[in-house]
Amino acid sequence: MNFKEHVIKKIVDMTELDREAVEKAIEIPPDEKMGDLAFPCFPLAKIMRKAPPVIAQELAGKMSDDDMIDKVQAAGGYLNFFLNREKLISAAVTAVNASGDDWGKSDIGANRTVLVEYSSPNIAKPFHIGHLFSTAVGNSLAKIYAHLGYNVQSLNHLGDWGTQFGKLISAYKRWGDREIIEKNPIKELLKIYVRFHEEAEKYPELEDEARAEFKKLEDGDAEATELWKYFRDISLVEYNRVYNMLGVSFDSYNGEAFYSDKMDEIVDILRDKGLLEESDGAQVVDLSELNMPPCIILKSNGATIYATRDIAAALYRHRTYDFYKNIYVVGTTQALHFNQFFSVMKKAGWDWADNCIHVGFGLVRFGGKSLSTRHGDIVYLDDVLNESIEKTRDIIEKNNSNVENKDEAAKKIGIGAVLYTFLKNSREKDIDLSWDTMLDFEGESAPYCQYGYARGRSILRKAEGIDYSNADFSKAVSDEAYSLVKQLNAFGDAVRDAAEKNEPFYVNRYVTNLTKSFNKFYNTNPIMKDDVDMDTKKARLAIVEATTRVIKTALSLLGIETVESM
């Protein structure tokens, strides 16, 4: 029973507007006293040749109430609809509890393929806190698109190629000790990588040596290739340990190296289309008509560059997946790079390039401190996650020693707290991490939402044995119950908004507001008290179950797990 659709149909039947126009125009009033849905009559002014307030009055007079709408009122140029509270509560709660984890799902994706490239760490370098931005946003988007019926492929475009491997090979040959590296691979590889840069500042000829080592790797030299595979394999072991902590998985780990034999074709295509021109010895595509610098395809020494590899990757993905969307979750600092190579693909006549989308995100600081792997100035992600888990366990011990399986609860809450922080605002906003904010059980945080869920599950456990499957929802009508259930009904809209704008923030904000409404509901509508009659208990219990289901589903789309008690 879709109340919004019912209102849209009534408006369409009484006006000359099509359904799509009405759906786009209809709003939720800022104050519940103004109704549940509002339609601005301004689009009708030209058609009906009347002032919007007059149109609103006329339509309100003609629009009869029914079993889904209590009343229709004109307010200025708006037509305000007040829905039947009992009917909406009954329909929404029954539907949520019947759908289980599928509430908010949709078939709008029609199984079309959406690729989401995210995380993409550089091999042999630490998985630091900055990488979590891409990982958190990308993993959430993958889940959101899947919830809407898309066939989602998660891609980890590893940074496993380039001159940095020449530097690492050179550093390893000079200072590497395999036995020491095996004990702590990433930190030890970083140590010799940082040392290389320190030494290169004193002895610039080391840069030439590194370039020579990478050239060997490009040419398939056996020793260089063996070392490259070794660095890649031990790095992936470390990365997957962190991914397992986060509950993140990928369908492909094809990195830059995978496309190294596919770039000659790109150069040939661009040359055949007359797009390449020489600039200081390099081969570039001119983008001056778009007010952008030229996109370098081949450097003056004939070597390829990031843009060449990214174009090769995009063409491969188009041929392999025939994607509906190809999303790149990469920092906003790389916006020019994406604009450049997207523009090159469009100039090449590839219409599907319009379906390649850069989803940028801001910078990360920890206590105001920026990150740089080159100088060893980093904050390791697993250190942050482990510290969050430990701090959460201390809070659990202090506040409630009755939580079952404290270690598991601390892990879910601690990791959830970190993830929530990266998804609580628009992704392009910079983040300065703070333990006080992340682990605030009272404010806008994952622990706050997880506690709301756990509180609801505790109520349901106390009600074990009570059958509320056929509750009489006329017993549950209250302002707090109605506001809460309207939130439940809006989950699908939040998921669609998140996908449309590639902003997990919409789901994050939704679940936070839902939890706030739930807290207000159970604090003002007693459920298991002795003076509450059984019919009222049943109706309110059904609402509690529906709410906990939606909180859990919404948090799962953010990559955050729930706990049954806190």
Q: Which residues are catalytic?
A: 125, 128, 131
- Please check whether residue 377 is in contact with residue 237, taking contact to mean a CB–CB distance below 8 angstroms: no
Distances (CA, A) of 164 to 234, 354, 487: 17, 32, 50
37's tokens: 């849905």
Fill in the amino acid letter for 91. Answer: A
CA 119 to CA 104: how far, in whole Å?
27
Other Cβ atoms less than 10 A from the Cβ of 421: the count is: 24
DSSP for 213-238, written as a single string = HHHHHHTT-HHHHHHHHHHHHHHHHH
Dihedral over Cα of 488, 492, 498, 501: its sign? negative
- Please check whether residue 189 is in contact with residue 148, taking contact to mean a CB–CB distance below 8 angstroms: no
CA 102 to CA 549: how far, in whole Å?
10
- Please check whether residue 153 is in contact with residue 320, taking contact to mean a CB–CB distance below 8 angstroms: no
Can you give the three-state secondary structure of 444-461, one letter per residue?
Answer: CCHHHHHHHHHHHHHHHH
- Closest by Cα among 88, 96, 52, 92 to 70: 88
The angle, 0 to 180 degrees and rounded to 10, between the axes of the packed helices 205-218 and 163-175 is: 110
